[in-house]
A and B are shown apart, each in its own frame.
Chain A
Amino acid sequence: DADVTQTPRNRITKTGKRIMLECSQTKGHDRMYWYRQDPGLGLRLIYYSFDVKDINKGEISDGYSVSRQAQAKFSLSLESAIPNQTALYFCATSGDSEGFFGPGTRLTVL
């Protein structure tokens, strides 16, 4: 679904580096989410935002921060990346019904 985009799509970085993952959407949705996917663990919520001034921690927010720059943009930062943050990261948006996922960012921390 091209309405939700993520950059970069793949990233390899080193332990201790700061990295930002970006998400943009053209669906006009107020709600945006960041999920992390690890094999066998499903998708786990990192942070979510129900509007530009609303930021909430999810179940695994430690080591992450977010910024909602505009209704259409929601970025996820790893201030000091560590190897166990290696995962597939998905941004998602929702209106009053279903959620739409971005294509994902595969992050590897060496």
Chain B
Amino acid sequence: GENVEQHPSTLSVQEGDSAVIKCTYSDSASNYFPWYKQELGKRPQLIIDIRSNVGEKKDQRIAVTLNKTAKHFSLHITETQPEDSAVYFCAASSGAGGTSYGKLTFGQGTILTVHP
């Protein structure tokens, strides 16, 4: 089955700096890569996703890059703010039934702390 490794497990940055979280996956059939943000005591919520036919996707201060050859993908947050502090999870899915979304395999999570 799929295995997703996420690094680092904790990341501390100063407000305004950039943060990068990296994930690798094992199943070359994986074709959908979402990133979730989980604030303390809350449910994970999707912040950005990328599909295997795209190398990069950006949404305001966050971006995701995908290298299918190396089987790794990364989350980039620029101009970090204290409210970005949370746990971030990457995930990978190989899809099912002809659609791009199947069961997700999650990374272990990264605790991001942004210091004012």
Residues on A facing B (Cβ under 8 Å): 1, 31, 33, 35, 40-45, 48, 50, 56, 58-59, 90, 94-99, 101-104
Contacts and interface: CB of A to CB of B under 8 A. Distances in A.
Contacts, number: 56
A94 to B, nearest CB: 5
A102 B43 CA distance: 7
B106 A43 contact: yes
Dominant secondary structure of chain B at its interface with chain A: loop
Given A42-B108, A43-B106, A101 B44 contact: yes
B9 A97 contact: no
Interface in B29-74: 34, 42-46, 49
B100 interface: yes
Contacts of A58: 103
